[in-house]
Amino acid sequence: MGLIKPYLIIKQQVKVGMAKPCGLVKSCHLVKPVSATRVAGRYLSHQKGLPSLPVPPLQQTCERYITALEPILEMDELKHTKELVEEFQKAGGIGEGLQSGLEKRASRTENWLSDWWVQVAYLDYRMPVVVHSSPGLVLPRMNFTDKQGQVRFAAKLIAGVLDFKTMIDNETLPVEYMGEKPLCMNQYYEVLSSCRIPGLKRDSVVNHAKSSRPPKHITVVHNCEFFVLDVYNSDGSVLTAEQLCAQLEKICNSSPKLNNQPVGILTTQHRDTWAKAYINLIKDTKNKESVLAIQRSIFTVCLDGGMPGVSNETYRSCAAIQMLHGGGSQWNSGNRWFDKTLQFIIGEDGMCGANYEHAPAEGPPIVALIDHVVEYTRKLELTQSPAVPLPVPQKLHFNITPDIQKDIEEAKQSMDTLAQDLDMRVMVFSHFGKNVPKAHKMSPDAFIQVALQLAYYRMYQRCCATYESASLRMFRRGRTDTIRSASSASAAFVRAFDDPNRQNTEKVELMEKAVKAHRSYTNMAISGQAVDRHLLGLKMQAVESKLSLPEIFKDAAYAKALHYRLSTSQVPSKTDCVMCFGPVVPDGYGVCYNPMNDHINFAMSSFNSCQGTNGAQLAQSMEGALLDMKKLLDQTPKAKL
């Protein structure tokens, strides 16, 4: 198969658009297939044309590692680490050997990093996927207020996802670009019909889309009861939204009462605990069949019950909690299967969004799919009920033994502890968006990250290791690398900002330097030349070669560098939504944001059990930092610079 023909590629922004009800969603476009019919082989030929992820030069990474440590280490710590790095990279040293092993791996694999990354970051990670790994996505409030509206909206949403799926199946999804560079489209092929499976030491992911008999059903969960809903007719056509609506009504009628033994809550557990419970659960043939039906399904739709304490002021934060963990066992946490890659969540009173299991994909492809779905639901009008009645969707039965019942009770308790511990705040910063930094010729993302550094510094009078995800999708099967947002330049800026002895012109200069330094780290990261994944590769190479771990990885500075008190990510969209996730360390914050043109949606999380963190204060400090940075720019005319 030759290279993909240019006419088959439609340039589509990766950017996908929350503030107001459905009718006020920003105008955006449906993703249009590049052809009305299937284009067999198009996906693979596109993938083949993408460059491989490079292995950066060893010396470069060592130098950049030291530079990245400067703002977060004390002088004596830095001196010690410099000595270890010197030793590591010296001619004929251990670093060279590992580097050459890594280069060999790169020459014989599609992507030297991706499998290791998925393993280390996700499948080996033993904390519960809920809060600790799986992001939630909050959509704008939709304009329905009752059960009927909930079901009708769910039907449209399912139809929208299936419309997008057709493009995946037909290989007619437009290729996405970052600037001029085409992006890897692999993640789109991993998110439907896939599911995480718990394992005793390591989990795995199954993708049934690749089987000889790909699934034709979705799973719907209502009142913590699971149902199989066939979404294709026997002739291969997709059920109409009207048919889907009628089927969803039957599901709701068949599950009028809340099941107080919710099997789904088991998926919220610590992974080792869940793995043991899983073995026990599927010993029963009926249970095994039911679990397999969920795992095989194309995706899951959660028709949720109400949530506590929702007012207009707290609406978005409540919605974020609903999407992230469901609110605890009394509310909707059992109305989930958190191992499922994609769960669409539709609450009562117009709340809706999604939760996704992170191993198969990053946020942007998920948001691109959801942008399409939201637009699809806006355009689709439901007419009258379908003429031909369909069979009632099959309810999935579980035999709950006393052991399983005990596991469910334990899972409920752990989930409730976690739900009580998580503080989640959604803040809509409405004063400006990308427009202001752009007008000052600054990268909006870099501006926001520098503001976050200022916000944190004002609270703690120090800088902390900060993680921002950078996409590696310019490379075949690329996932992410780390942008280290705390730099020497950002440290110089935040220390100067509130110093009354410094002139505004100097402060603006320092701001510009910090913003530029961030953008230049971003460029380095998206082109595969950042530090973190390379260091991980060198470490994994040592582990796989059964060599003793080099000293640089046992160094306290390495642990400090990976203790991200700020774990951040930009997930842009066309729909006015926001993604949310938990902190990655007990004393840290998770910060996800969606910069729109004239406002920015933030979701900030922290743990209540940590005395040292305060989500409300961080949100306030962030707002102040953004406003003060703008004020400084406004008060400092260009001529004075």
Which active-site residues does the annotation give?
Answer: 358
- Candidate residues 216, 434, 458, 476; the one interacting with ligand COA per rule CB under 6 A: 434
Pairing type for strands 12-13 and 176-178 reads parallel
Q: Which is nearer to ligand COA, 252 or 483 (CB)?
A: 483
Nearer Cβ to ligand COA (280/523)? 523
Shortest CA distance to 184 belongs to which of 101, 133, 113, 120?
113
Our finding on whether 343 is near ligand COA (CB under 6 A) is: no
Q: What is the DSSP letter of 126?
A: -
- Residue 216 annotated as part of some ligand binding site: no
Query: Which CB atom, from 530 or from 618, has the smaller least distance to ligand COA?
Result: 530
If the CB atoms of residues 160 and 437 are measured against ligand COA, the closer one turns out to be: 437
445 binds ligand COA (CB under 6 A): yes
Per the DSSP assignment, residues forming a β-bridge with 476 are none
430 is in an annotated binding site: no
Q: For the window 511-550, what string marks contact with ligand COA as x by the rule CB under 6 A?
A: -----------x---x------------------------
Q: Which amino acid is at 270?
A: H
Given a contact cutoff of 8 angstroms between Cβ atoms, the answer to whether 177 and 183 are in contact is yes
Smallest CA-to-CA distance from 364 within 474, 518, 218 is with 474
Identified binder of ligand COA from the candidate list 114, 322, 466, 570, rule CB under 6 A: 570
With CB under 6 A as the contact rule, the residue among 53, 209, 320, 442 that binds ligand COA is 442
Output the smallest distance, CB 483 to ligand COA, in A: 6
590 binds ligand COA (CB under 6 A): no
Of residues 451 through 490, those in contact with ligand COA by CB under 6 A are 469-471, 480
**Is residue 351 part of an annotated ligand binding site?**
no
Report the 10 Å Cβ neighbour count for 125: 17
3-state secondary structure of 313: coil
Distances (CA, A) of 578 to 131, 325, 356, 535: 15, 15, 14, 31
599 appears as a binding residue in the annotation: no
Residue 325, Cβ density class (10 Å: 0-12 exposed, 13-18 middle, ≥19 buried)? buried
Q: Is 605 in the site for ligand COA (CB under 6 A)?
A: no
Among 29, 438, 554, 631, binds ligand COA (CB under 6 A): 438
Provide the minimum distance between the beta carbon of 528 and ligand COA in the complex, in angstroms, as a whole number: 12
The site for ligand COA, by CB under 6 A, has a size of 20
What whole-number distance in Å separates Cα of residue 451 and Cα of residue 223?
43
For strand 217-222 and strand 300-303, is the pairing parallel, antiparallel, or unpaired? parallel
Amino acid found at 165:
K
- Contact call for residues 338 and 267 (beta carbons, < 8 A): yes
Q: What is the CA radius of gyration of the chain?
A: 25
* 488 annotated ligand-binding residue: no
Virtual CA dihedral for 512, 517, 518, 520, nearest 10 degrees?
120
What is the helix (H) or strand (E) element at residue 533, kind and residue range? helix 532-544
Q: How far is the CB of 149 from ligand COA (least distance, A)?
A: 31
* Alpha carbons 492 and 514: distance in angstroms, whole number: 8
For residues 55 and 515, which CB has a smaller minimum distance to ligand COA in the complex? 515
Comparing CB distances to ligand COA, the nearer of 213 and 638 is 638
Q: Using CB under 6 A, which of 160, 328, 364, 550 touches ligand COA?
A: 364
Contact positions vs ligand COA (CB under 6 A): 15, 362-364, 434, 438, 441-445, 469-471, 480, 522, 526, 569-571
Binding residues for (R)-carnitine: 467, 469, 480
Residue ranges at the known binding site for CoA: 434, 438-445, 471, 519, 570
